[in-house]
Structure 1
């Protein structure tokens, strides 16, 4: 008891609380947006929205080719390099955004259902592929300095204008009877994303006195170091969101809407976990300078609390799933059963996330890319087989199978590295 009374939160605890507070406010905003947008759009239009957003977010991770991740890593180890690293991040954003938008347009034409209008596709695409990447880079700049309060603001920045956009959406659909609610929401979403990017750049200028001039020197090396971050993050997004896109194409927009609504609740419950990972990322990079074993020991130290939290949220979701139709409307009756199926997904994600953080912190991004890429491919193959047979239930089963696959592979690699290091010491 004496030790407990004497305890004071350290920098990691404070950083975790700051990130969780910011992400928690983001979650409240996202929840408000989700509940109202889902009701206003209806289950089919919400399914279309989820499918378009999934594709845009996947392509968005290729913008910058991971150079902002290199900036975070280098700044965490030596803050003196930050200004040059930020300039290279801007240069990478400049040269990669246009081809990413072109590729997004081509994939949208190939993969999305034909009844989703092209202006809707481009509205969400520009928001996520261009403006959202600026805000993400700004957040990583603060993470590199372990200024988690500011990083939390960057997480929150896109949500505030999005919450404000709810009012014109409701007015446009409910009172003015807008003929295409999804198009209206895509326009409002794009405006909100642009405002968030402007805020992020203004905040960086005020806090660091940064000039927004691209730095081309050293960009090639930074992109060579950064592409595993980009490819790994894109693979992770494919793994998480490809089932929504495939459900829209193979199972119909209604099935995609039901599944996406349930998955959204699971995503929001994982916000405190994201707060912990965001607060600890600089420490993983420092621990990783001593090798992957050191980073893995740090991951093991963090494991008990997020694991207990994930188990608790899974139980809560399983018990309270029947409230979903009451919250979202009768169209989402199937989302209750989908939430019960997805309730235990965060429990599997915790050890996988921490193992990935350990490999990334030790500069073994290629391991993260390989494992996540193979898991994304496995998820696609399983979904192609399972969705036509069982609909969203098949998508859930494919997700769980891919999670087990990643955990088993990462543990095998970690144990193999440990045995190799032991033999070298002998």
Structure 2
């Protein structure tokens, strides 16, 4: 079983890395080619497509896996039910989106057309892809999920590269995003039909408790898109473009701490049902690792945002996006603290508290994005994103009876390293200038001082690697020794 989990995780990890590299390169070229205003319009369309796409699932993936992993479950009937529901959800979402976008953007024909070209095909592509992803996750054949994601992402990137080389207008680039998702959906459905020829039958158990998954999943999905969507209503598309470029960098940076979160998550569930004390210790360990890694990643990008934006997107983006990136980079450190705190709540059966905190973050986010974004554009939006993370930090900490002590133990020692990263980074910047040498020296310092000073982390990492390679994660004596 351990080998199966490791193999499946490897498939997903490799596919995610490949897709993110490919799409990041495509995004950089698109941003350079379009400019701030048109890229702002495309960013709004992409954000809306993520939100709209969720309504073709609404928690079906969770209930399908829940029912499909039970003894003597009828997989073909369950899958047929999920397929029918997704088609119904996609039809309803398409009609609703068409009417909503017609009402909201009738006075902005360029933006409206861009949104239609991205969102409507993506809704159907997501609905069809979701059938295959849920099925192969249920039967634990993650290589097919990796294949679906890689093909879909590769088609998107290849189409965009062609469009950029031949200087397609904004409409065609938007349509490329939408149709590429639809191609991935067709491939996903074709793979499923090879294993299960007919998607027939009906099992209403997929609807049982669906609502609880819908609410939590929607909030997790919409929060990262909220800034782009709200800023479009209160400022111009150029500022939206600058915010989207700046936001994309920390969202990519967070993927490395996110891999750690995915690795700890099943173990936390396992321990929560057996030993609450060991669950608490493992939660602290996750918080320690993730917060340290998030702080290490955030500081160089926060101190040298002009250099980063210029190197990645070009000098034309520096004035508009670098200040926003300098603020948003701290979001990586905050998210790397928030996710372990949130995971501790979920795995202890306190999902309702986590959802309550997310609702509060959502409401605060709407207000701050409107107030700050209308006044300061992209920079105000960046400040709003940080305020949301601070609200989530307080909420997740106070919602857990042991949240405060968990936070104190988990990040206590890391704070001192964090301060040293910032101080040395500022010294390099003011003494050597805003140069690539300063950036590289800071990265080297962060790596070396962490490896040298944090002896406890070195020991834990060494022990975890030994257990991981030996296939005995969670079984060796002393694995969950209390951290001081």
TM-score class, shorter: 0.7 to 0.9
Residue deviations 1:250-308 (CA, integer Å, cap 9, x gap): 12111111110111111222233444455666556655666998876654443333333
CA distance in 2, matches of 1:293, 1:87: 42
In the alignment, the residues of structure 1 paired with residue 191 and residue 268 of structure 2 have an alpha-carbon distance, to the nearest angstrom, of 26
1:74 Cα offset (Å): 4.3
Of the three residues 117, 140, 146, the one matched with 1:123 is: 117
Task: Label 1:94 to 1:185 Cα distance change in 2 as closer, same or farther (>3 A).
Answer: same
Q: Take 2:272 and 2:132, find their aligned partners in 1: how far apart are those partners? A: 23
Q: Which of 1 and 2 has greater Rg? A: 2
Secondary structure of the structure 1 residue equivalent to 2:401: helix
Aligned to 1:315: 299
Alpha-carbon distance in structure 2 between the residues aligned to 1:301 and 1:412: 19
Pairing of 1:136-175 with structure 2 (within 5 A)? 136-173=130-167
5 Å-filtered alignment, 1:27-426, equals 27-75=20-68, 80=73, 82-112=75-105, 114-173=108-167, 178=168, 181-206=169-194, 209-218=195-204, 221-278=205-262, 299-321=283-305, 322-333=307-318, 334-361=320-347, 365-415=351-401
User: Is the 1:15–1:279 contact (alpha carbons within 8 Å) kept by the matching residues of 2?
Assistant: no
> Cα 1:311–1:111, aligned 2, differ >3 Å: closer, same or farther?
farther
- CA–CA distance in structure 2, aligned partners of residues 244 and 256 of structure 1: 6
User: Does the 8 A contact of 1:228 with 1:365 survive in 2?
Assistant: no
C-alpha displacement at 1:341, in angstroms? 1.0
| Offset at residue 128 of structure 1 (A) | 2.8
TM-score when normalising by structure 2: 0.73
Report the more deviating stretch, 26-35 or 106-115: 106-115
Q: Structure 1 residues 63, 340: closer, same or farther in 2, change over 3 A? A: same
Contact between 2:372 and 2:381, CA under 8 Å: does it hold in 1? Answer: yes
Preserved contact between residue 124 and residue 189 of structure 1 (Cα < 8 Å) = yes
| Unmatched tracts of structure 2, length 5 or more | 405-484
Asked if structure 2 preserves the Cα contact closer than 8 Å seen for 1:101 and 1:129, the reply is: yes
Q: Shift in Å at residue 151 of structure 1? A: 3.5
- Whether the aligned pair in 2 keeps the contact of 1:165 and 1:188 (CA below 8 Å) is yes
Q: Quick check: 1:136–1:154 contact (8 Å CA) kept in 2?
A: no
Q: 1:50 Cα shift?
A: 0.7
Q: Is the 8 A contact 1:68 1:86 kept in 2?
A: no
> Structure 1 residues 127-136 or 53-62, which shifts more?
127-136
Between the aligned partners of 2:34 and 2:72, the Cα distance in structure 1 is 46
Q: CA deviation at 1:136?
A: 3.8
Comparing both chains, which one has the higher relative contact order based on Cα–Cα distances under 8 Å and sequence gaps of 6 or more? 1
Report the Cα offset of residue 380 of structure 1: 0.2
Shift in CA distance, 139/255, structure 1 to aligned 2, threshold 3 Å = same
What is the CA-CA distance between 1:148 and the residue it aligns to?
4.2
Greater alpha carbon shift after TM alignment, 91-100 vs 275-284: 275-284
String of CA shifts for 1:296-336, please: whole Å, max 9, x gaps.
Answer: 66544433333332222212323442132343233311222
**Mapped partners of 1:71, 1:293: distance in 2:** 32
Tell me, what secondary structure is at the counterpart of 1:216?
Answer: coil
Q: How many residues align?
A: 400
- Is the CA contact (8 Å cut-off) linking 1:142 and 1:150 kept in structure 2? yes
SS in 1 for 2:110: coil
Change (3 A) 1:77 1:410: farther
- Mean Cα displacement is larger for which, 127-136 or 361-370? 361-370
Task: Please report how far the alpha carbon of residue 156 of structure 1 lies from its aligned counterpart in structure 2 after TM superposition.
Answer: 2.8
Equivalent-residue separation in structure 2 for 1:263 and 1:251 (angstroms)? 16
